[in-house]
Amino acid sequence: MTSQPQIWFITGSSRGFGRALAEAALEAGHSVAATARRPEQLAELVERYGDRVLPIALDVTDSAAARAAIAETARRFGRIDVLVNNAGYANVAPIETGDEADFRAQFETNFWGVYNVSRAAISQLRAQGGGLVVQFSSVGGRVGGSPGIASYQAAKFAVDGFTRVLAVETAPFGIRTMVVEPSGFATDWAGSSMTVNDIPADYEQTVGAMNSRMRQTGSRPAGDPKRAAEIIVRAAARQNAPSHLLVGVNAVEMSIAYSRAQLAEAEAWEQVSRSADFSEPYPAELPADDAV
């Protein structure tokens, strides 16, 4: 584990996880290039931490702006040790009735924003001999199946797949990756940041029920963003950060249950799956079609 001050670059730093992470990194003695669509929202960080904070205006969907932000950070601090793609949001609507333009707009931020910033940073990280790329996904980006937020979850699955390729392509340059997969946290993700579109009666038991669990139960999400941010900062200081970091009890329990179910299904269908190759016995007997 390194005790040396690091240079962090964090997207979506004005609130939520991004803000908590910027504060945790600064409290740990690091310096932060904090980006936001409205950098004036970062004024308090500058007042508290002075020249260890570089506020940058950034819309992550703008690839040229992403390149400029990376270059500005490198000019100011000389390097980037930890790059965090945190910016993202979700709106609620069924796939059938949701607005296509909104679906695409969410994907533009949640996936293409990650692509833009990651791609912009590679040459800097390669030139300096390495660094850590932290991609914010979600436990939903591992287990999926949350009604009403298909664009968000599809993007998070894409972020994971993209990052796995990024990891192997850039490993020879000393670049490492860590995908963060939170469950429910007390941020504004399901608050004013989220638009809930009309939910038809036919979808009330799926999308409607999911929306009620997220927004209308009156209970606070279990996760503490401050604790999670501190955990991420500690993990990022390790020489061998985990490739995937689950944060939150629900994230752990849902992921373990999902992995066990995946393994059980793969084993149940193993002989059938193998039989598709020329060299294997064919046909193979299908597993029992038990009624559930």
Catalytic residues: 137, 152, 156
Is the preceding omega at residue 283 within 30 degrees of 0, hence cis?
A: yes
Strand partners, 176: 132
Q: Are 210 and 97 in contact (CB under 8 A)?
A: no
Q: Is the dihedral of CA 34, 137, 2, 122 positive or negative?
A: negative
Q: Which helix (H) or strand (E) holds 54?
A: strand 53-57
Report how far residue 222's alpha carbon sits from residue 53's, in angstroms, rounded to the nearest whole number.
30
Cα maximum dimension of the chain: 70
What is the SS3 assignment for 25? helix
Report how far residue 8's alpha carbon sits from residue 52's, in angstroms, rounded to the nearest whole number.
10
